[in-house]
Amino acid sequence: MIGRIPRQVLVRLSWTTVSFGITQFLRLVNNVVLARLLSPPLFGLMLIVNSIRTGIELLTDIGIAQNIISNRQGHTPEFYDTAWTIKVLRGIVLGAICFATANLFASFFEKPELATILPVIALILVFQGFQSTSAALLTKQKLVVRITIFDVGVASVSLIVHVALALVTPTIWALVLGSVITSAAAFVATYLIIPGARHRFIIDRTSAREILVFGKWIFLSSVIYFLGMNFDRLYFAKHITLTMLGIYSIARSLADMLSNLTIRTTYLVLFPAVAAMDVEAPEVRARLLRGRRTMLLGIAAALGCFVAISDQVVILLYDRRYEEAAIMLPLL
């Protein structure tokens, strides 16, 4: 035990950090290359698109994956097939909502392009709905290595597809179609990371009731998370130019790296460990507090180093069109 953090947790934490580093490196390369091939207004428009899609998704989130990980029956076919069925139905409904409200969002944001883009983006919500629950089952079993392979594979596909499309058509469709194709690849991959993974349409009443009862708390937290993480994007989308919004999106994507690492570590390491504890709440809290100081010190050190060099990172990697992001990034 190092710093009172259990060795098994440290191993999973190491795998999570390494996989996150690789995937973020691939995404950074993708971001830098696309920034040189495409103009800033395209990133601004895509930021609006992603905010709308994320909002539609999170404002109806009932935590299917979290249900599988936390529930003691989450590994049984009745439970995860019920969860998958609910997820599929939700994905179809969300895709239809995204398609139907395209003109409304285009009018609200005064961006007529959204009327054409959002119906295509609706496919991502459908693909996500049909994804297997394999990733959640692997997380429940604490098999971080397989999840690492999955994440790195999807990030690699995203890099190749986006860059290829940007070379062929340096327009907003390089970003839109790249996102759709990546989502389709992730959909297929979820059925490959556990050999022979299959699902059936079924609604087990007991499982469905437990999913919805647990999901109401996930729904509440998702609403708060969406508003906290996207209010700036939605506000700026109405009040600044697409060029400046695109520059801001570059700074935000870089600033989000550390917060994404924290979220990923919590989801893949801390949450499964807590869900597996067969003890009362006071004992859970006591165990978590043992390694909390060590983890917070590590996060603080990483954050300090990142802030210190962040402006130079932008200047080094991006061309002059994005130089204002160097001012934004340390503040973000």
End-to-end CA distance of the chain: 35
Task: Give the pLDDT of residue 11.
Answer: 61
Q: Which residues contact 78 (CB under 8 A, 6 or more apart)?
A: 202, 204, 207
Range picked from 20-34, 133-147, 153-167 for highest mean pLDDT: 153-167
Tokens 């190092």 correspond to what residue? 2
Q: How many residues does the chain have?
A: 332
Predicted structure pTM score? 0.81
Distance of alpha carbon 217 from its chain centroid, rounded? 19
Per the prediction, the chain carries an average pLDDT of: 86
DSSP 157-171: HHHHHHHHHHHH--S
Q: In the predicted model, is pLDDT for residue 109 greater than 70? A: yes
Q: Which residues contact 38 (CB under 8 A, 6 or more apart)?
A: 166, 170, 171, 174, 175
3 state SS of 332: coil
pLDDT tens, position by position, 202-250: 998 998 999 888 888 888 888 888 888 888 998 999 899 999 999 999 9
Q: In the predicted model, is pLDDT for residue 156 greater than 60? A: yes
Task: Give the pLDDT of residue 321.
Answer: 93
Q: What's the rounded Cα separation, in Å, for the pair 214 and 48?
A: 31
Q: How much of the chain exceeds pLDDT 70, in percent?
A: 92
